């Protein structure tokens, strides 16, 4: 706290976009209580770490960060340390045992409890991790961006993939009422937000629990008249619940982007079955072919796991064949690592780390060729881009993204501002980014 009596709060967010959205709601509550946001932990009266536990390596790093906070507590005994998110849900009161300097542990269904816990804590450990509570609450929200906004449409997951801990820490699938989502998106459009991202662990499952015929295609259609919103993105899709009806809705929408992130995870039906993914390679390819038929300009990305327990060389070859068959614009590739609490972690047929690393390199070598080739095809073409600002390491070069979520970097001449919609010509396609120049400004 500074000498003027102002209160400050520091928030660090780990993991997925859903966590980023949750952090905005934590920040909203803190501002309502009179706290100012700061990026300096030394100034903070409240330090909140919003955590992820999808991978044990990430969890280990977070535990290390929590340990470091002990020194801040020693310097400022009145400091309140709050651990929130998926790791908080998983660990619960074990976090107090591991790190007694932590004050609050708040699980994924208890975001709304922050205000109450800060007001009544009285120096004692406080835990809020009841997953029987509603997943969504009407909370003040402090948006971290001026032109880009996250909008949760559902929470939880019913899929129980054998490698994934998300259903255990996010709970069962629960959809927000359609009218609430539409109202939030329209309000954001009126407030000047140009790009909205609809969030859910599995957006294609949206509405199934409502049992009134509402599904993701209903939501896409309902958002068509969200004035002011130039782009609507969505993540993450699941092939099991993606339908042609949903693809049709996306194809006819003038606001939803033609970028489909459709995680396949493996090109082997045997592996997909062991993963409990609920679809076959054949079904997946049928969805891909239909989407490309309806949207010839589709940008397609995916997630893939290599070295899943029991994955033979033949199964891995099937994954490589799938990459070559589909030709993804980009693939987010991961080495399988056992996650405590999931079935796959207990299986005996684990793949040696050296072999997993070799397979990852082989997969990436092929995928990088496709990414480069597809990006080079974009050279000399012009794309509409919403300006996001300077790149991380060079303030003289700015960037934005195409509707297909591809990053374009250009040399900034001072003619544009963050949030402007501009036309950018691609001069050079590289594996990960595009280089270009501005040809016109839309404002």
For the sheet with 259-261, list strands across it. 259-261, 299-306, 330-335
Confirm or deny that 157 is annotated as ligand binding. Answer: yes
β-strand partners of 302: 331
Q: Report CA torsion sign: 181, 386, 141, 15.
A: positive
**Alpha carbon 422 to chain centroid distance?**
26
Residue 273 preceded by cis peptide, ω within 30: no
The CA-to-CA distance between both ends of the chain, in Å, stands at 40
Q: Which of 119, 101, 98 is nearest to 30 (CA)?
A: 119
Confirm or deny that 53 is annotated as ligand binding. Answer: no
State the DSSP H helix or E strand holding residue 91, giving kind and residue range, or none if neither.
Answer: helix 86-91
The residue to which tokens 């891995």 are assigned: 316
Confirm or deny that 381 is annotated as ligand binding. Answer: no
Confirm or deny that 52 is annotated as ligand binding. Answer: yes
The residue to which tokens 């893939």 are assigned: 304
Query: Residue 254: is it exposed, middle or buried by C-beta count within 10 angstroms (0-12/13-18/19+)?
Result: exposed
Residue 70 DSSP SS3: helix
Cβ contacts of 120 within 8 Å, gap of 6 or more: none
Residue 295 DSSP SS3: coil
Q: Which residues are annotated as a binding site?
A: 16, 52, 86, 157, 161, 164
Q: Which residues are annotated as a binding site for [4Fe-4S] cluster?
A: 16, 52, 86, 157, 161, 164
């Amino acid at each position: 706290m500074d000498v003027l009596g102002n209160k400050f709060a520091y928030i660090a967010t780990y993991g997925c976009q859903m966590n980023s959205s949750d952090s905005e709601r934590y920040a909203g509550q803190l501002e309502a209580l009179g706290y100012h946001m700061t990026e300096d932990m030394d100034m903070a009266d409240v330090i909140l770490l919003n955590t992820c536990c999808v991978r044990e390596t990430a969890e280990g790093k977070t535990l290390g960060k929590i340990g470091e906070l002990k020194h801040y507590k020693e310097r400022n005994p009145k400091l309140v340390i709050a651990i929130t998110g998926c790791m908080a849900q998983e660990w619960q009161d074990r976090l107090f045992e591991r790190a007694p300097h932590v004050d609050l542990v708040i699980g994924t269904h208890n975001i709304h409890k922050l205000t109450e816990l800060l007001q009544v804590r009285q120096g004692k450990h406080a835990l809020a991790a009841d997953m029987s509570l509603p997943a969504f609450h009407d909370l003040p929200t402090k948006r971290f961006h001026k032109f880009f906004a996250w909008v949760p449409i559902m929470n939880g997951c019913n899929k129980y993939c054998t490698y994934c801990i998300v259903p255990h820490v996010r709970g069962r699938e629960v959809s927000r009422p359609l009218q609430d989502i539409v109202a939030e998106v329209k309000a954001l459009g009126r407030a000047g937000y140009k790009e909205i991202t609809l969030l859910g662990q599995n957006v294609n499952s949206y509405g199934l629990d409502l049992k009134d015929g509402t599904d993701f295609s209903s939501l896409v259609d309902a958002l068509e008249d969200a004035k002011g919103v130039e782009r609507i993105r969505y993540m993450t899709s699941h092939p099991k619940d993606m339908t042609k009806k949903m693809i049709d809705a996306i194809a006819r929408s003038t606001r939803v982007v033609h970028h489909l992130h459709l995680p396949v995870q493996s090109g082997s039906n045997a592996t997909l079955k062991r993963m409990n993914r609920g679809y076959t390679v054949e079904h997946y390819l049928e969805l891909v072919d239909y989407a490309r038929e309806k949207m010839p300009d589709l940008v397609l990305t995916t997630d893939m796991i290599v070295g899943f327990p029991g994955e033979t060389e033949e199964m891995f070859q099937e994954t490589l064949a799938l990459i070559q068959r589909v030709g993804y614009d980009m693939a987010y590739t991961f080495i399988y690592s056992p996650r405590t609490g999931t079935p796959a972690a207990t299986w005996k047929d684990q793949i040696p780390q050296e072999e997993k690393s070799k397979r990852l390199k082989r997969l990436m070598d092929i995928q990088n060729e496709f990414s480069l080739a597809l990006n080079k095809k974009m050279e000399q073409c012009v794309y509409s881009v919403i300006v996001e600002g300077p790149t991380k390491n060079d303030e003289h070069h700015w960037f934005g993204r195409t509707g297909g979520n591809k990053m374009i970097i250009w040399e900034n001449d001072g003619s544009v501002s963050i949030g402007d919609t501009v036309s950018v010509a691609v001069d050079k396609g590289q594996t990960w980014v595009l280089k270009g120049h501005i040809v016109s400004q839309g404002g």
